[in-house]
Amino acid sequence: MADLQRFRDMLAAYMAKKGLRSTKQRDAIVDAFFVQPDHVSIEELLARVRERDAAIGYATVYRTLKLLTESGVADEHRFGDGLARYELADEEAHHDHLICVECAKITEFEAPDIERLQDEVAKRFGFVTRFHKHEIYGVCPDCQKKTKPRR
Amino acid sequence: MADLQRFRDMLAAYMAKKGLRSTKQRDAIVDAFFVQPDHVSIEELLARVRERDAAIGYATVYRTLKLLTESGVADEHRFGDGLARYELADEEAHHDHLICVECAKITEFEAPDIERLQDEVAKRFGFVTRFHKHEIYGVCPDCQKKTKPRR
DNA sequence: CTCATTGCAAATAATTTGCATGTAA
DNA sequence: TTACATGCAAATTATTTGCAATGAG
């Protein structure tokens, strides 16, 4: 688990710079995100947040996640199921994803050697890298067992 | 440029197997795709196709591109601008993408060493890979010149 | 007090689908 | 002839936005 305080500070700084205000809705959403900032969708997060305050509207969740993304606290991902998912923008421990095409489970992996080769590719083309996506779609071990049981 | 005939055969086989018919609209769309099968969007393809037959509806383009995708002739990509783009599903010459965040230009790259490391990652997690996405987002050489001119 | 924020509903944008009509095979 | 295909418009889905009411600083 990353250093959450660092992210809270990052968000506070961004909000101060932009003259944004903190509200109970925002706090509830941000807290809910920090509880388990791992590939949550808006809908999942909204459900979590409504346990604390049932009146929070989904537009507020969209707006707050956009705020988290702009402030550099969260990264937005799209894994092919048509909706955005968010996770902590943890550069220190950068990882990429394996996505199961059967059960949609997401597994993280780190591969510094791939990152290095990737930097070389960017350099070869004269690109200044901002970010990247590396996603491997396939069938996870669990689903391999389910899909082709010996019979 | 890949062996287009191979892809035409692949499509014909798929259509035969499914009992699908060839129509002048489908032919026009497929031909237009084959002319330049490089990251076209539905809208771009529709424009191209309408030069030949102005009456073709956009639903037909959607349906035909889905057909191309299902038959293994085309791959669908989403590069973050909110719409689907299609390219030839050329496994022999597999490549990934560099996307300029300024001008949205897409550059292809091949990196067999990355692919190999990626296979190792999948194996390490017991995944059976179906396909992958590796996209590097950054600023291309042209836009670097535009964005920060010496002044 | 002032201006950002919220919740709601309506607006978008990309894509999909129902259906009457057209048309391959 | 017998389904499959098409074009249109309406439906869907995820997300965004206008606006009046609310609330933070």
Rounded distance between C-alpha atoms, residue B149 and residue A96, angstroms? 34
- For residue A150, the model assigns a pLDDT of 61
Contacts of A124 in chain B (CB under 8 A): 109
- In chain B, which residues from 6 to 45 place their CB closer than 7 Å to nucleic acid strand C? 21-24, 41-42
- Delineate the domains of chain B, giving CATH numbers in brackets: 4-88 (1.10.10.10), 94-147 (3.30.1490.190)
Q: What is the pLDDT of residue A146?
A: 85
Measure B122 CA to C9 C1' (Å). Answer: 46
Q: What is the pLDDT of residue A9?
A: 97
Candidates B98, B99, B147: best to mutate against A (most CBs of A within 10 A) is B98
Supply the DSSP symbol for B83. S
- A122 and B140: CB-CB below 8 Å? no
The count of other CB atoms within 10 Å of the CB of residue B18 is: 11
Q: What is the pTM for the complete model shown? A: 0.91
Chain A window 94-133, residues with Cβ within 7 A of nucleic strand D: none
> How far off is chain A from B23, nearest CA to CA, in Å?
31
Chain D positions within 7 A of any protein Cβ atom are: 3-9, 13-18, 23-25
Cβ-based neighbours of B96, under 8 Å, separated by 6 or more: B108, B109, B110, B111, B114, B133, B134, B135, B136
Residue by residue, pLDDT tens for chain A (151 residues) are 668 999 999 999 999 999 999 999 999 999 999 998 889 999 999 999 999 999 999 999 999 999 999 999 999 999 989 999 999 998 888 899 999 999 999 999 999 999 999 999 999 999 999 999 999 999 999 999 986 666 5
Contact A102, A143 (CB under 8 A): yes
C-beta atoms surrounding B77 within 10 Å: 16
The count of residues in chain A is 151
Chains A–B, number of C-beta pairs less than 8 Å apart: 109
Reading across the β-sheet that carries A84-88, which strands appear in turn?
Answer: A38-41, A84-88, A74-78
CB contact under 8 A, B125 and A78: no
Query: Protein B26 CA to nucleic acid C11 C1', in Å?
Result: 33
* Tokens, residue B40: 């076209």
Q: What CA–CA distance (Å, rounded) separates B106 from B79? A: 9
Work out the angle at residue B43's Cα, subtended by the Cα atoms of residues A132 and B72, and round it to the nearest 5 degrees.
65
Q: Where are the beta strands (DSSP E) in A42-93?
A: 74-78, 84-88
Give how far A66 is from chain B: nearest CA, Å: 15
- Please judge whether A130 and B138 are an interchain contact, meaning their C-beta atoms are less than 8 angstroms apart: yes
Instruction: Say if residue B81 is exposed, middle or buried (CB neighbours under 10 Å; 0-12, 13-18, 19+).
Output: exposed
From first to last of its 151 residues, what are the pLDDT tens digits of chain B?
668 999 999 999 999 999 999 999 999 999 999 998 889 999 999 999 999 999 999 999 999 999 999 999 999 999 999 999 999 998 888 899 999 999 999 999 999 999 999 999 999 999 999 999 999 999 999 999 986 666 5
Distance B56 CA to C23 C1' (A): 15
